[in-house]
Amino acid sequence: MELDFQQKIRAEREILMSETTAQEVKKDLIEKKNQAKQIRIHNYGTISDLKELYSKFNDEKTKRDEFTAQVKKIKEQREEILLKLKDLEAKFNELLGLLKKEEKSSEVPYFKLRQDLERLEWQLQTEATTPKLEKELSLKIRDIEKQLKKADKIKPIQDQLNAVKKEVNQFRKIELESRNNLNLLARKSQHHHKQAIEFQEQITRLRENLGEGMNKLDEMNKEISAVSTEFQEIINVEKQKSNQEFQEYQLFQQERKQKMKEKLDEIKSEAQEIYDKFKKGEKLKFEDIQKLQAAGLL
């Protein structure tokens, strides 16, 4: 009996220790699952931030490319403008040189002759009060007109020169506007380029952060798998122990019933002998009466 009691105590202690271990492992498993959940939440947040950054990066890149395309187009236009301006300036210098050459060959500059002619004609109309003065003015006018005939070929050159000069000024104005517009668009393109680079750097950092988070989650899942296996093994052991204890209990009950049956059969057999003696008229002892009662014969 003492040995059975010690075995029972030892079995109960093992069960208690097994239950304690299972609780500790289950607690550890829950904690690790919570940690994994927090890591996943963090990773989801990082992914959401990455999506937003990628959207901003693409917007800045698109704007940068649009401005860059405009800069390229304006540069091409400016090249055409500069070539045209170069041709016009060359033509202007050519006409200016020709004009200077013609003016040198003339005794009096063409424009000076025109001014003198206009002045004398005005005097003739307003100040010629005597025939003598009128004759003098008329002679001077005829002399200037003769000189002007020689200088008449200067006027077309001057007209061309003025037209070319006007066109040169127009193209210089266009070139200046084009240059200012080009600088403005270039600055805008550079601004969006810098913004795109900043977003790209943030994306790189977040991707590294997400990679670390994924690695942590992977490690945590491995730990969860190991702890889950350990917990399942404990549960399986406990089930096996429970099944074994149940089987042992059933065996104990069967043995107990068998012993009780054997004991009862023995009592009945002995009681039957006593009962046979009683029927023959023999006197019974008190103990014999108790045996008959136990066997249900009284």
pLDDT tens, 55-88?
Answer: 999 999 999 999 889 889 888 888 888 888 888 8
- Comparing 91 with 264, which gets the higher pLDDT? 91
The confidence score (pLDDT) of residue 81 equals: 85
Q: Is residue 113 part of a domain?
A: yes
Q: Does position 94 have pLDDT exceeding 70, yes or no?
A: yes
Q: Is residue 275 part of a domain?
A: no
Q: What sign for the dihedral angle of Cα 246, 251, 252, 257? A: positive
- Binned at pLDDT 50, 70 and 90, residue 198 comes out as very high
State both tokens at 139: 């002679």
- Binned at pLDDT 50, 70 and 90, residue 2 comes out as very low
Residue 185 exposed, middle or buried by CB count within 10 Å (0-12, 13-18, 19+): buried
Q: Is residue 131 part of a domain?
A: yes
Distance of alpha carbon 193 from alpha carbon 190, whole angstroms = 5
Q: How far apart are the first and last CA of the chain?
A: 35
pTM of the predicted structure, to 2 decimals: 0.50
pLDDT digits (tens, 9 = 90+) for 37-46: 998 899 899 8
Task: Looking at mean pLDDT, say which of 7-11, 131-135, 188-192 comes out highest.
Answer: 188-192
Q: Is residue 282 part of a domain?
A: no
The residue-averaged pLDDT of 263-290 equals 68
The residue-averaged pLDDT of 107-132 equals 74
Q: Is residue 69 part of a domain?
A: yes
5, 210 in Cβ contact below 8 A? no
Q: Is residue 280 part of a domain?
A: no
State both tokens at 190: 């550079």
The confidence score (pLDDT) of residue 270 equals: 72
CATH number for the domain including 97?
A: 1.10.287
Distance of alpha carbon 110 from alpha carbon 119, whole angstroms = 14
Q: Is residue 254 part of a domain?
A: no
The residue-averaged pLDDT of 199-208 equals 92
The confidence score (pLDDT) of residue 297 equals: 52
Q: Does position 6 have pLDDT exceeding 50, yes or no?
A: no
Neighbours of 168 (CB within 10 A): 17
The confidence score (pLDDT) of residue 63 equals: 92
Q: Does position 219 have pLDDT exceeding 50, yes or no?
A: yes
Average pLDDT, the chain: 78
Q: Is residue 292 part of a domain?
A: no
Domain residues for 102? 15-246
Q: How far is CA 72 from CA 37, 178, 182, 199, in A?
A: 52, 12, 9, 25
Distance from the Cα of residue 297 to its chain's centroid: 96
Q: Does position 175 have pLDDT exceeding 50, yes or no?
A: yes
Domains of the chain: total: 1
